[in-house]
A and B are shown apart, each in its own frame.
Chain A
Amino acid sequence: MTHPIRFGFGAIAISSCLTLRSRPKGGVSKGEAATRAWGALTAVLLLLASPAAAELRIDITSGNVEPMPIAVTDFWGAVAPDIEVGREVARVVAADLERSGLFSPIDSRAFIQTPESLQAAPRFGDWRVINAQALIGGKAERQADGRLKVEFRLWDVYAGQQMAGLAYFTTPDNWRRVAHIVADAIYKRLTGEEGYFDSRIVYIAESGPKDKRVKRLAIMDQDGENHRYLTDGRNLVLTPRFSPSTQEITYLSYYGKRPRVYLFNIDTGQQEVLGDFPGMTFAPRFSPDGNRVIMSMAHNGNSDIYSMDLRTRKQTRLTNDPSIDTSPSYSPDGKMVAFNSDRGGSQQLYVMNANGSGVTRVSFGKGRYGTPVWSPRGDLIAFTRMADGQFYIGVMRPDGSGERLLTEGYLVEGPTWAPNGRVLSFFRQASGGGATRVYTIDLTGYNEREVITPLDASDPAWSPLIP
């Protein structure tokens, strides 16, 4: 176990009016849990010099933007372990921001002002000289009670103003997560969009020859760190998906040569089969409230969609058609379901009400469409499209309009949304049994990046922001 999934964490916000604020919305309950465990864990908003006049902001809707040059200084520490942590936190913050494609961290060897002198005040001239648009500084400090305090400040270099400042208290081994939270705060302040760095990806790690492939559940931070395997590879496993709490995964396992949908509890490692169906269950996903799992059940050559209440374990049949009905995905308000069906003669995308009524076909382009996944913002559905011997990842509005293809290849499949609905992950398999790897790509179709994994990787599923 390299990374405790649940841990005490909190942040205190110091503003000019000393308002206590909790970071992401879900952080309130986390804060309460943390308080129970730790007494006082909070985040503090650091004093703003004055309200910013002309906002430093990136418009991220236009696509191929020139990355904003930013200076991320080492977070300053007074003593050896704090110096080390401060340097690592800054490195993770800079890497997150760089990978988004929106920011270009400047080589620290160009920096004139030292992190220590930055603790007093920025000399903005020193940063204008190297063309830094934004400046990030911070401090790491071990507290007397053993907790780690990490604070950061974000400055608009040309306006000469502080844009954000927060301090976080946590356990020292959680420094990496604090770094992601800092990066999210900076991303949000500079783009106006929610961040997505404090999140994880669960996926299928693949090894061995293609005809005897060993597949294991694996989990990692969105940047590939804190990687670990959740299953040992004895049973074929496929298509893992996070619960909204990020504490559970639903997936397909061939345990006992019976392909069925399972729940995996990340905290306990416990696995349980979901439901008692006469046939194969597959293609599971949680409902947005986490109370249901929607999935396909195949019996006597026919696949239909079912929804299961996780408390009562009552199963509700949503489709009843002799076609293949699979890959269901709820809309974020839980009122609609997108799914995949060949009821019209070929594999296409459909949308229906959550009770199974009002089935409407939404894909009409050339070729076949699969794996619809509703954006967490509700505005788009991502999909896999197959046409002219190629595979594509694309998005369309839930009514089928505005289709855009983001990337293509011999085999690209299985899009999953980052929690802010701005970035997607998917997997790409080379032809001829070549490498299979997980990638991320911006919603604009730019900035495609491989997520480095120890083995081949497929079926990524991005978590919500960690509560």
Chain B
Amino acid sequence: MRFISAPISATLFAVGLLLAACSSDPEVAATADTGGTTTTAATTETGQVTPGSSEDFVINVGDRVFFGYDQYDLTPEAQAQLEKQAAWMQQFPAVTLSVEGHCDERGTREYNLALGERRANAVTNYLVALGVDPNRLQTISYGKERPEMLGSDESAWAQNRRAVSVVN
């Protein structure tokens, strides 16, 4: 990722430049950790993010939470992340979400489909508990079919045990 050096030390300014640089190559842009999530960012041509858009959600809210091995309970970090998602949903009442449940590859295919469904439901149940209308939420399980990380080690598996909220 290219970084255009700025003579002034204003962090905000530097971040703005970083996003602008990213806009020319959205594939490689990865934003910082927010509440334990890693997100892939896509910005508009000008580097501006439309409020209420998928990009806004991914960059400014964080679209995913992570789970332990064979677990589907929400960690405190995941709960904090979902509280941000719920607040954003309240701010943009027209938005609907598909919550995708995913697993690492260290389980059998069919069991992982069930586990991914459990994870997606853990997310939607929490969002509903926070006041989001259940009609704005769908779930889909991908089991181990759509890994985020391709490695065969614990750090990759941990990134793959996730539920991702996708703006429809």
Contact = CB atoms under 8 A, between A and B. Distances in A.
Given A301-B121, A301-B122, A259 B152 contact: no
Interface in A250-291: 252, 257-259, 279-280, 282-283
- Which bucket holds chain B's interface residue count? 20 to 34
Nearest to B121: A301
Given A282-B113, A300-B121, A433-B151, 16 more contacts: A211-B146, A212-B146, A215-B145, A252-B113, A257-B98, A259-B113, A279-B117, A296-B114, A298-B113, A301-B72, A301-B118, A324-B111, A326-B110, A327-B111, A340-B111, A371-B110
B150 A432 contact: yes
Contacts of B61: none
Contacts of B109: 238-239, 371, 413-414, 459
Interface of A: 209-213, 215, 236, 238-239, 252, 257-259, 279-280, 282-283, 296, 298, 300-303, 324, 326-327, 340, 342, 346-347, 368, 370-371, 384, 386, 410-411, 413-414, 429, 431-433, 459
Contacts of A298: 113-114, 117-118, 141
Contact of B152 (A282, A303, A324, A433): A433
A370 B146 contact: no
B70 A211 contact: no
B66 to A, nearest CB: 17
Interface stretch (B25-33, B42-50, B100-108): B100-108
17 contacts: A210-B147, A212-B146, A238-B113, A239-B109, A239-B110, A259-B113, A296-B113, A298-B114, A298-B118, A298-B141, A324-B115, A340-B108, A340-B111, A347-B108, A370-B108, A432-B150, A433-B152
A411 B105 contact: yes
A370 B110 contact: yes
B148 interface: yes
Interface in B108-145: 108-111, 113-115, 117-118, 120-122, 125, 140-141, 145
A280 B106 CA distance: 22
Nearest to A210: B150
Contact of B110 (A213, A258, A282, A300): A282
A259 B110 contact: no
B119 to A, nearest CB: 8
Contacts of B118: 298, 301-303, 324
B113 A211 contact: no
B141 A280 contact: yes
Of the listed residues B98, B114, B122, the one surrounded by the most CB atoms of chain A closer than 10 A to its CB is B114
Interface string B47-81: 00000000000000000000000101000000000
Contacts of A431: 152
A296 B114 CA distance: 9
A298 B151 CA distance: 29
A342 B69 CA distance: 14
A410 B152 contact: yes
Contacts of B147: 210-211
A326 B113 contact: yes
Nearest to A340: B111
Nearest to A413: B108
Contacts of B122: 301
Of the listed residues A212, A215, A303, A342, the one surrounded by the most CB atoms of chain B closer than 10 A to its CB is A303
A408 to B, nearest CB: 14
Nearest to A304: B114
B165 to A, nearest CB: 15
Contacts of B115: 324
Nearest to A236: B145
Of the listed residues A257, A301, A370, A429, the one surrounded by the most CB atoms of chain B closer than 10 A to its CB is A301
